[in-house]
Copies of this chain bind each other. A is one copy, B any other.
Amino acid sequence: MKQSNRDETVVGGHAVTDKKKMEKIFARIDLENPPPICPIRDVLAKALDKWSMLIILMLGYNDTLRFGDLKKKIKGISPKMLSISLKHLEQDGFLVRTVFPEVPLRVEYHLTDQGKSFCNKILDLSEWINDHFPEIVKRRYKVDEIM
């Protein structure tokens, strides 16, 4: 592991916040401008919004799903939001929409390689939350008691 010109904190054997990585990211994130103008923040905003993460995980888990399947599996989502989210994810290359001109119409969605790759990232993140959220929730109650 490379040593930066700055002392690195260590958590669980992992070097935290490798400065090189950080600089690479900060060089690209446009802090001056919000999502529509800063591409990175824009991509992230769309891929991590209220429903998109769930959709990606769902397609990662089930491989191929129809519009109605997704609607049924993701409780509470409206057809409008599902449609919009799917469109965003398709535009950014996370999934593919395939139409079968049958009667009745059939449309299938599945992740692209990029989508699968991203799905793994999200899965890692979810796993992290899963591993830490007991303490987080416990902490919340403690904070509530104090306040």
Residues of A within 8 A of B (CB): 4, 8-12, 14, 16-19, 21-22, 24-26, 28-29, 31-34, 39-40, 43-45, 47-48, 50, 53-54, 57, 60-61, 63, 73-76, 91-93, 111, 113-114, 116-121, 123-130, 132-133, 135-137, 139-140, 143
Contact = CB atoms under 8 A, between A and B. Distances in A.
Contacts of A126: 25, 29, 40, 44
Contact of A92 (B19, B45, B136): B136
Contact of A53 (B44, B74, B143): B44
Nearest to A114: B132
Copies of this chain, tallied across the complex: 2
Contacts of A124: 121, 124
B25 A114 contact: no
Nearest to A16: B116
Given A10-B117, A12-B117, A25-B127, 9 more contacts: A4-B120, A11-B114, A17-B120, A17-B123, A19-B61, A39-B136, A40-B129, A43-B136, A93-B135
Contacts of A129: 40, 43-44, 47
